[in-house]
Amino acid sequence: MTPDILEQIIADRAAKRQFVSATNLGTGAVRLIHADQADGAADPLWQAAFAAMRADKPTTVETDDGAVFLNVFNPPLRMIIVGAVHISQALAPMAVIAGYHVIIIDPRRAWATAERFGDVELIDEWPDDAMTALDPDRRTAVVTLTHDPKLDDPALDVALRSNCFYIGALGSKRTHARRLDRLTERGFDADAFARINGPIGLDIGAKSPAEIALAILGQVTETLRRSPS
């Protein structure tokens, strides 16, 4: 590995970029493949690298140039939950077990308490300010659960302008339609709306807060592991 490659790896990890180092096991040559650079997406090696990133698992692949070891450098998974509600109380510990660093945003301090959420990170700021500071990335899932447009809409605004891998919003089809009308007024279009999972969660007939949380985490996992990008 050359000093230039090593310096780039250090810089990319500091910047929390998602990438793979591809090392030719015969020659020792190393190249970096970044998730935010799709110019080589037609290359089978790039496709294998993206699959390794999604799986969070290093692997060795055979290429025309010999065997190549793909080492995955993924930033930590995060789940930003807007709303310290009953569903959040069930979802947060599930997401922690699944490997996410969970952050709950809710300016209503009576709801966002350690007594209700234990060691989960709590932010009692308005969602737009908190979300902007958190800067959602390709390893971030954003879940809005308040049913309050004053809280959910600003969070969705920031999420849609980011490259987070998942966006979900609680509410019925009618509630979601009204939400999209408001987001249209904010300048978003159909392509942006396609990124929002609303109503949120897999369709498993969930009723209780715990079941809804399970449906949400299932959909987040499916998006993380099966998304083509």
pLDDT of residue 42: 72
Rounded Cα gap, residues 218 and 175, in angstroms: 22
Q: How far apart are the first and last CA of the chain?
A: 28
For domain 78-226, give the CATH number.
Answer: 3.40.50.720
- Pair 21, 48: CB distance under 8 Å: no
pTM: 0.84
| Whether the bond into 199 is cis, omega within 30 of 0 | yes
pLDDT of residue 40: 62
Rounded Cα gap, residues 224 and 57, in angstroms: 13
91-122 burial string, b = 16+ CB within 10 Å, else e?
bbebbeeeebebbbbbbeeebbeeebbeebeb
Q: Position of tokens 């902007």?
A: 132
17: number of CA atoms within 13 Å, CB side? Answer: 17
Per-domain boundaries in the chain: 3-73, 78-226
pLDDT of residue 44: 86
Rounded Cα gap, residues 49 and 20, in angstroms: 6
Q: Position of tokens 């070891």?
A: 69
Q: Which residues contact 174 (CB under 8 A, 6 or more apart)?
A: none
Rounded mean pLDDT for each run of 10 residues along the chain, 229 residues in total: 87 88 94 80 83 89 93 94 97 97 95 93 96 94 95 96 95 92 94 95 95 98 80
